[in-house]
Structure 1
């Protein structure tokens, strides 16, 4: 009886802790240039001083025309690990799907993805000096490869990370024609399960909202006109259907197109009405440098709030 009581008490305390309002930071598409690589530690140090619960990097940790070498990956990993704030990272196209390019070193993209998993997603904690426990999809034996797909709770909301990068989500593989390739099919199936489980958990636990992080801009505008890209069509359909059924705030954070914005681009395919409980947040991207300060508060009807923080007036770099 005493053991049962203690377990219930611990569960209650954990629930109360996760419901406390928290602030967090959003970054992505950095560093792209030598200047950005030089500035990145300073940006993270500034974020450390903001008393954030965690930082999320939504992918592209190098420029699209630079080499995908182990040394480049390890260099960024070292910067992330130096963060005093827990840092969650989801992979982008520049560090795996595009690495077959000659300018990137002619790597096998699938080998680069395995290297990312080994370096950045080895443990069950976020990167950085302060631990933050994450739940990884790889804890399910059926999806043992997908260590980069994560979720955690904070502020009474659920946070979800998915490996869904640019360059058509690797739909065509290295040929950029035909498709879908086997890697895309398998990863899309894993993503579909992970996203469905996330919404089911949020409903079951009556969480106040969901924030989903991917790297790719999935092309809302084209999809609204009936021209969804094949690499993102199924994801957008699932996202729309789940968001409408959830009826509480849903946020999608992404990078990729380098246009910092906060808007509501998800529409009903029949009426074209804006789906009001959905918000898209795109992070800064080259040649603009900065971060988005965010908060989650289950007692706030809006649940999530966002405030762009340009770095040194987001000046263009050489």
Structure 2
């Protein structure tokens, strides 16, 4: 029996014994941004989260802004920030800390080298970050590909975090996309597209495993957390589906899998992402005129809006998830 299968079986057992318990968790990300002067606002945010009744929080990517250097110290600073949380915090990678590091104003790094460094640095153990930690199931051992994809269950609800970042999921469309304001060469971009395909396939497998876990444990709800806005808010016109635009093509396979799995799941699905920096909760799938009723999208706050979102889970409530924006006074 594999360790991952055993961990999944234990998760199912723990879920079955905790179906009816209510709890709350927090969501935040896309902060602090140096260019927005966010640093002085972070202590009030951390204090607000620490004084709340949440069981844990999840950070949905972007530990820095998209026009500052991807130096090693930004990862260390993020670990220090997460270390200020009294309760567990689960980190999900964003585009600013690896996908976009090729940009000249980011230092012209090799994004894949930064991803490898992130995997070794931001996931130092198999547990979460924070002063108090919780155990996580990882898709791979520490330091290896896809270690950043994590999963856990809490009081009968399954949580899955996946590395689906902004900037079209690291899919590069053409030579102009490859080299504009970038230190990348054609070889770099070919390697990035190969990385995208491999990680996208791994993400779909992890997604499918999360749904299988939720079904096996008869979970009332499943929470999926990614960083990227996969194009839900593009303009919708009668004769054109903008969700098929090239600039969001890197998300099609993953979102298609989300739809397929959600259709076959009897519980509620909460799909969380950052990237766009303003709070929003809606039901964007399938389209403005056709509803995937058991999926809710939650878009979290981001710089310069240094706030967070509290989600209350009530398994006996038909909607399961109740969303509360928390405005932090500065």
TM-score by length of 2: 0.84
Write the distance in 2 (CA, Å) between the matches of 1:300 and 1:104. 46
Spell out the pairing of 1:38-187 with structure 2 (5 A cutoff).
38-139=40-141, 144-172=144-172, 176-177=177-178, 181-187=193-199
Which structure 2 residue ranges, 5 or more long, are not aligned? 1-8, 179-188
- Note closer, same or farther for the CA distance 1:96–1:19 as it changes in structure 2 (3 Å cut): farther
1:207 aligns with 2:224: no
Which structure 1 residue ranges, 5 or more long, are not aligned? 1-7, 314-318
Write the distance in 2 (CA, Å) between the matches of 1:258 and 1:291. 11
1:278 aligns with 2:295: yes
Write the distance in 1 (CA, Å) between the matches of 2:303 and 2:11. 45
Q: Deviations over 1:286-310 (max 9, x none)?
A: 2222000111122222111110012
Contact persistence 2:44–2:328 (CA under 8 A): no
Aligned to 2:31: 30
Judge which range, 218-227 or 55-64, deviates more. Answer: 218-227
Write the distance in 2 (CA, Å) between the matches of 1:62 and 1:172. 22
Q: Shift of residue 131 of structure 1?
A: 1.7
Where 1:220 maps in the other structure, the secondary structure is coil
Write the distance in 2 (CA, Å) between the matches of 1:272 and 1:123. 45
Contact persistence 1:156–1:297 (CA under 8 A): no
Q: Shift of residue 144 of structure 1?
A: 4.7
Q: Shift of residue 96 of structure 1?
A: 0.3
Judge which range, 125-134 or 166-175, deviates more. Answer: 166-175
Where 1:231 maps in the other structure, the secondary structure is helix
**Larger RCO, structures 1/2 (Cα 8 Å, 6+ apart):** 2
Aligned to 2:282: 263
Spell out the pairing of 1:187-226 with structure 2 (5 A cutoff).
187-222=199-234, 225=241
Contact persistence 1:223–1:233 (CA under 8 A): no
Write the distance in 1 (CA, Å) between the matches of 2:11 and 2:118. 35
Aligned to 1:300: 317
Where 1:298 maps in the other structure, the secondary structure is coil
Contact persistence 1:91–1:148 (CA under 8 A): yes
Count of residues in correspondence between the two structures: 302
Q: Shift of residue 199 of structure 1?
A: 0.7
Contact persistence 2:45–2:306 (CA under 8 A): no
Write the distance in 2 (CA, Å) between the matches of 1:41 and 1:272. 42
Write the distance in 1 (CA, Å) between the matches of 2:235 and 2:116. 31
Q: CA RMSD in A?
A: 2.7
Write the distance in 2 (CA, Å) between the matches of 1:266 and 1:109. 31
TM-score by length of 1: 0.87
Contact persistence 2:14–2:156 (CA under 8 A): no
